[in-house]
Every structure is written in structure tokens, then in C-alpha cells.
Structure 1
Amino acid sequence: MHSLPVTELTTRAREIFRRVVEGYLTTGQPVGSRTLAGGGELNLSPASIRSVLADLEGQGLLSQPHTSAGRMPTEVGLRLFVDGMMQMSQPTREEREAIERSLTEPGPIEAALAATSAALSDLSACAGVVMVPAHEPLLAQVTLVPLSPGRALAVLVGQDGGIENRIVDLPPGLPPGALEEASNYITAHLAGRTLGEAARLMQAQIASGQSALDAASADLVKRGLAVWSQDAQRRPVLIVRGQANLLDDTALGDLERVRSLIDDLESKQSVAQMLDLAREAESTRIFIGAENRLFALSGSSVIASPYRDREGRVVGVVGVIGPTRLNYARVVPMVDFTAQSLGRLIR
């Protein structure tokens, strides 16, 4: 069933529908007519409200778990609310700072991505996911750029035009020009090789004394290449953090759904394929329940946003996975901010 445009709802129906959805997203419980009438803002009797609720149910926007319960939004209703009625709230300063702190994790970029996924999971109370490139490019250029005392950014440019970054800890007392010397040496001697090949060859040259580098520069080259030493085939295609957040109080009454969701998350390749659908999106995408076949049985929602390099190319996807009862207005901007922050990291 497709959702009707929100403009086709009467003002009264739109307001009652909004209150039901917001109440359900806040409490996880169906919202009844007496609750809606209790505040007095609607200026309607419970009987009048029940009539509107019945109409909304007939339109496929609300459902009633059983005859004595209130109403809750269907997946169609949630889509209508998200697309046409939701008022976004921007991440707080504390939330932005927590996300940005996670991006300073030293070492391979995967470490920063894992920390970012964990931070997003903690803030959203969902499972945080980050999809990273799985291919291993051929080396075209490596540049070591000073970041702060004791740290540098190793920028790798692949022959395919892809760019990857690593944070490198610098040895104390590094002489002036050492970063440039090491960058030039790596580029001149190792261009056209994979990262694994480059690291092995560089280690062999330094060990045999064939590198023509002084001790400080040789150490810097080893540090610059060591952060890429993990074989590309062993890199995680998908980083998932915070699965325990899915086991909240509401999950206790629906263990089969949660079990299905955990099984879905264990199939990382399938999740990565699903997230790949967000790669071509201009902004954050929201998949609600059965809108994505992978999570149709578990009835879960996915909020995902692509992140890009400095050339505007999509290099990965970041997002959260959780129950359909998400605070979409808060989590969607949070995921979007995380994607923008990741984009700044890999520039």
C-alpha cells in the first residue's frame, strides 16, 4: 500500500495522526483516544477522536494491536510522517563533539571508522554501521603532511584516483624536511604496487641497507607504510557496533523479531549490499521495515548516508540500524552530520 500525500488529510486528521506517531515514537506504546483527549489541546471528545482514528486506520496509516488498545503507526504511516510532517532537530554541541572526537582515533582509518560507528551507536541507542571500501588500490603517490607536534597525516593516492588517509605518530626530534624526503622516496620507489607489496618491499630495502635513507627518514617511511600493512582482503567491508542496544525493554516482548535482526546483522555482506543502495543518494536515506527486504522480517529501520572524498566521490556509507520506533527527527540529522564529518576526515 502506498502512502497518500499528507495534504490529503484534513487538518484535524493530520494533527491527530501527528500526535499518535510522536506519542508512539516516544513511548513505544499504542496511543489511545483518551490519552489524546486528555490534554485538551484538540478540543475533541474521545468519541470524535476515535472516529478520526478509525478513518486513519482505514487509510492504512494506523493499526490497532487489539480491540482494547490504542493506535500505532504502520510502516506506511511512518513513511508519511517522515517524508511530510517530521520536524528535524539538529545535533547538540555535545553530540557533535562526541562524533568529532571519535574521528581522532590514531592509526588505520578503520580504527577511526570503528570509533565513529561506536559513538553513533551510543548516541542513537541503535546499532551503528560504517561501510568502507574493500578494494586495494595500486599506489600512485604518498604524501606525509604535518598535523600537530608528534603526528602527521599520510595521504595515499591510488592509480584509480581513490584517496585514503592514515594518522601516523612521528618519532621525536624529526629533522626538517624528513616528511618530504620520506614522501618522495615512497612515491618514487613504490608507485604502481599494491599497499601490501609496497610495505614488504620497503621493509626489505631498509633491512638490507639499500634504501639510501638516513635512520630518521627510514623510520618515518616504515611508520607511514605500517599503518597500511593489513592485507586488503582482511579489511572489514562493514563495521558494526552497538548490537546490544537492540535489546531494549521493548525487545523483551518480541524476541523473535530481535533474533531475526541479530541474524541479519551477522550477515555483514548482505547488510553491506543493502547499504550500497544509499551510495547514490544525495543525502540521508531512510528505509522503514519491509521497504528493505533484508529487514522485512525483523521490522527494522535503517538510516544511512554516503560520505565523500574531497573530489565529491562516494567512498563509503555510515548509518544506524534499529527498531522502526526510532526518534527519526533526532537520528537523521545525527547520521547526516557524521557523514559530513567523515568526509572532512578523508579530504
Structure 2
Amino acid sequence: MQLDTRAQTLLKALVERYIADGQPVGSRALSQISGLELSPATIRNVMADLEHMGFVASPHTSAGRVPTPRGYRVFVDQLLTVQLIDEAALESRLQSRIFSTPPQKIIANAAQVLSSLSQFAGVVMTARQESIFQQVEFLRLSEKRILLVVVTPSGEVHNRLLLTAVDYNPSQLVQAANYLNQNFGGLSFDDARLRINGELRQLQDDMSRLMQAAVEAGSDAMSEKEEDVVISGERNLLNVADLSSNMTSLRKLFDMFEQKTGLMQLLDMSSKATGVQIFIGGESNLVPMDEMSIVTAPYEVNGKIVGTLGVIGPTRMAYERVIPIVDITAKLLSNALSH
């Protein structure tokens, strides 16, 4: 639904004032801050039209109006003027934390920087890496108990205990390891799993089951090496009245942090898009609260998108400040992980 210039100007003024002080905005205030030479009656008529279209709402306790999720969406998509920030200062702040540290630490620091700069919660979905193995080895510990040793191309070693239905002798274990290494070494476990089902049918059933178990266990062992999502600054949201005003809201908020399933779906969805994405509460089933927004951006490693980061805060956040923080942090994290 298209808004004329006058309605857009008044909606922009209303959202900006509401974000600034959190109080419903009346027609008198709009006449002072909008820069339009309109009578109070005209402003009231425009506000009534905006309310009828679902862009603003009138709280029962006030004659003023507040933006709805639909109003916020028009604001961030069409009316927002993104604030210029000191990109060099932000880059220096990030670089002082992330270079010469392992990837896991870089990601945790990025979440902390997002939280400290926004004063909300920072979140980073960790880089999705294929579970590629260079070689495997089986060590017989006792009857029907085998230690699977997985070595990655970078030299990392992962161990997993296999409990088998058959007691394999050392010769069989060497045979199975040699077959996997010669035919699947250098592939991901996912690729190996797809090929194994067809290629191992000609082998003995017991050996086939051992190799299939090894592929499953090896993939699980490598996927456990780090968290899927790193969150920093959750406690900041306790200071946001819009999110912590009642126990129901708090329960939804921390259920999201504890379960992480919905948050992972949302971050994974934004990784398939380009640039900054804004999820406003009430619009998406993936955002559990009407009062919550999540600003996200994907990050890359050597030109390939591998994850997403963002800021979780109230719908009434300063988008013009948070958007460039998320955007620049994603670019700097990409640079750091690609070195």
C-alpha cells in the first residue's frame, strides 16, 4: 500500500520520536517535529488513515500513537536514513581483538563487539564447515568396543567410541580403515555416506556395517567441536523494558536463547540473502515476540558465505545505528577469517 509524501513524512517523524523516548506521539508533537506546515486537524486525519492501514496504533491510555510492526517495516525499508559511523574506528576495535587468534575466538569476539556496540545481544552463527577427513584408524579396545580415530587435512584429531554388534579382529579393522582411506580420504563424511551405500554392497555385511558406523560417528565427532551459535550480552536485554516487562515476555526471550532452534532457522535463512536483513517481531513466526527485532548480515570465508551474525534487540531500536554496526562487523569478520 503506497503512502503519499505527507503520510511518509509524518510516519517517519512518529517512528523516530517513539524510538527516541518510548512514549506515544501526539498530533501536537508531530506538527512541531515533522517540518510540515499542517493544521492539527489535518495531522489527525493523516494519523487516522495510517491507523486504519495498520501502520500505527493507539494505546488505550493515550491520545498519541505508536508504530506497529507493519509501520516499522515501512520505516526500515523506505524511510530510514542510515547513520554514518566511524568505520575506521570500528575496524580498529575489531582488529585489535580478532587477528592472531583461532577462528573460534574470532567468532566469540565478534559477538562481544556486536553486543557492546549496540548495547543489546550479539549473535554469530558459526561457520559451516564440511567434515572432511584425511584418514581414519580403528583401534580395538576390547570385545565389541572400537576407538575410531579421525584425522582432518589440517591435522586435527577426533576420537569416537564405537560399540559394535560384531567382535572385529585387528586384521579386519586394518582392512576397513585402508578401504575408507583409499576410496574416501579427502571427502566429507556426507559425500562418503552417499557413496558408501552403493559401493559397499559387494563387501561382507559385517564390514559394510562397520564402515557405515564409522562414517556416522566420524561426522558426529567433528560436528561437536564448536557451538552452532555464539551469543553475547543476553543480560543487556533485561534492561530493555519492552522485552522484560512481564514474565511471559522474559520466558519467550530466554526460551529462544536456550532452545536456539528458531534462532538457527532465522540465521540460516538470512545467510541465503544478500546484505543486511531485518526481522521485525509480529511479521515472522521465527521471531518469538512482537516487541523484538533481529538485524542480521551474512559473512564469508574466501568469497563463500559460511555463516550469519546479528544484533537481537527491541523493535524500538535505533536501526540507523545498528544496521551499519552489523554490516561492517560482517565485512571485517569475513576479512579476518579469510586471512
Counterpart residue number, 1:275: 267
Q: 1:265 aligns with which of 257, 263, 266?
A: 257
Q: 1:338 aligns with which of 313, 319, 329?
A: 329
| CA drift at 1:45 | 2.9
Distance 1:75 1:40 in 2: 21
Give the 3-state SS of the residue equivalent to 2:293 in structure 1. strand
Give the 3-state SS of the residue equivalent to 1:130 in structure 2. strand
Structure 2, unpaired ranges of 5+: 135-150, 160-220
Distance 1:21 1:241 in 2: 28
| CA drift at 1:197 | 4.3
Distance 1:63 1:124 in 2: 27
Distance 2:156 2:47 in 1: 61
Counterpart residue number, 1:247: 238
> Could you tell me which amino acid in structure 2 is paired with residue 36 of structure 1?
L
Counterpart residue number, 1:214: none
Structure 2 counterparts to residues 180-219 of structure 1, below 5 A: 195-197=156-158
> Could you tell me which amino acid in structure 1 is paired with residue 323 of structure 2?
V
Q: 1:26 aligns with which of 20, 25, 48?
A: 20
Counterpart residue number, 1:88: 82
| CA drift at 1:56 | 0.6
- Name the % identity: 37
Alignment pair present for 1:314 and 2:308:
no
Q: 1:71 to 1:96 in 2, by over 3 A?
A: farther
| CA drift at 1:294 | 2.9
User: Do the aligned partners of 1:138 and 1:193 also contact (CA within 8 Å) in 2?
Assistant: no
Distance 2:61 2:294 in 1: 30
Distance 1:317 1:345 in 2: 15
| CA drift at 1:255 | 4.6
Counterpart residue number, 2:174: none
Structure 2 counterparts to residues 1-347 of structure 1, below 5 A: 4=1, 8-39=2-33, 41-66=35-60, 68-92=62-86, 93-104=88-99, 106-133=100-127, 135=129, 137-138=131-132, 195-197=156-158, 232-251=223-242, 253-297=245-289, 299-310=291-302, 312-347=303-338
> Could you tell me which amino acid in structure 2 is paired with residue 9 of structure 1?
L
> Could you tell me which amino acid in structure 2 is paired with residue 318 of structure 1?
L
Q: 1:121 to 1:59 in 2, by over 3 A?
A: same
| CA drift at 1:41 | 2.9
Distance 2:289 2:324 in 1: 27
| CA drift at 1:283 | 0.9
| CA drift at 1:33 | 1.1
Offset from partner CA, 1:77-114 (integer Å, 9 cap, x none)? 1111111111112332433432333323x542111111
Distance 2:67 2:288 in 1: 16
Give the 3-state SS of the residue equivalent to 1:15 in structure 2. helix
Distance 1:17 1:193 in 2: 55
Distance 1:135 1:249 in 2: 35
Distance 1:243 1:259 in 2: 13
**Cα RMSD after superposing both structures:** 2.5
Structure 1, unpaired ranges of 5+: 141-189, 199-229
Larger radius of gyration: 2
Q: 1:45 to 1:294 in 2, by over 3 A?
A: same
TM-score, scaled relative to structure 1: 0.68
> Could you tell me which amino acid in structure 2 is paired with residue 30 of structure 1?
P
Give the 3-state SS of the residue equivalent to 1:302 in structure 2. strand
Counterpart residue number, 2:139: none
